[in-house]
Each structure stands twice: as structure tokens, then as C-alpha cells.
Amino acid sequence: NAGVTQTPKFRILKIGQSMTLQCTQDMNHNYMYWYRQDPGMGLKLIYYSVGAGITDKGEVPNGYNVSRSTTEDFPLRLELAAPSQTSVYFCASTNRGRASDEQFFGPGTRLTVL
């Protein structure tokens, strides 16, 4: 199992550009999550999905969009990149979303918006 994979690893965007961060998991997990990590702020939830076709907003969804057309993939879209979106982005998944379930994380995408 590759687990949770993310592409790209690094990206530099200009203000106003758009891009899609890819996330794929091969564990047949139902629940998938996107977080952003900023220094001293921990991880903040952007969007999550409880299954194919179902997505919901997290704590900091503004400026982002997601889709979940398959169980495996959960891409995150930035439509008009802004400097405030400079961050490290992590995708995670878990099987049943129970309170005691461990989340499995991808390696992250470091995004810089200039």
C-alpha cells in the first residue's frame, strides 16, 4: 500500500493563478480531509468528505474548492491564489471516521504564493 499520496511536493504560484492539489489514497477509506499547516497554528481543516459525492466545509474553506468523484481521490482546488494561501497542505484519510480512529496523512504539498 502506498497509503496517502499527494502531488506536487512543492509549488510556487503567482497571485491570481489557479491550481489543483492532488490527493489519492489506496486504503479504501471513506473519510478524507484537507488541512493547512501554518507555523504555530497547528493544522486547520479546510474541507472534508465522508464518501464519494459528499463534501463539507471545515474551519477555513474560503478560497478553496473540493470534489470527491471516487473513493480514492480528493483534489483541492485554489481558484485565485492569494499570499494568505502560502502554507503546507496535508491530505488525510480514515476508514470510518469514528472518534477513536487514526487518521493517515500524506507527505504534504508546500505552496508559496508570490
The answer to whether 93 contacts another protein (rule: CB under 8 A) is no
Distance (Å, rounded) from C-alpha 97 to C-alpha 50? 8
The answer to whether 27 contacts another protein (rule: CB under 8 A) is no
The answer to whether 2 contacts another protein (rule: CB under 8 A) is no
Stretch that binds another protein, among 20-28, 43-51, 65-73, 79-87 (CB under 8 A): 43-51
The number of C-alpha atoms within 13 Å of 34 and in the hemisphere containing its C-beta is 32
- Angle ∠(46,48,50) on CA atoms, nearest 5: 175
Distance (Å, rounded) from C-alpha 4 to C-alpha 93? 7
Residue among 12, 15, 41, 54 that touches another protein (CB under 8 A):
41
Give the interface with another protein as residue ranges (CB under 8 A): 4, 31, 33, 35, 40-45, 48, 50, 58, 90, 92, 97-100, 102-103, 105-108
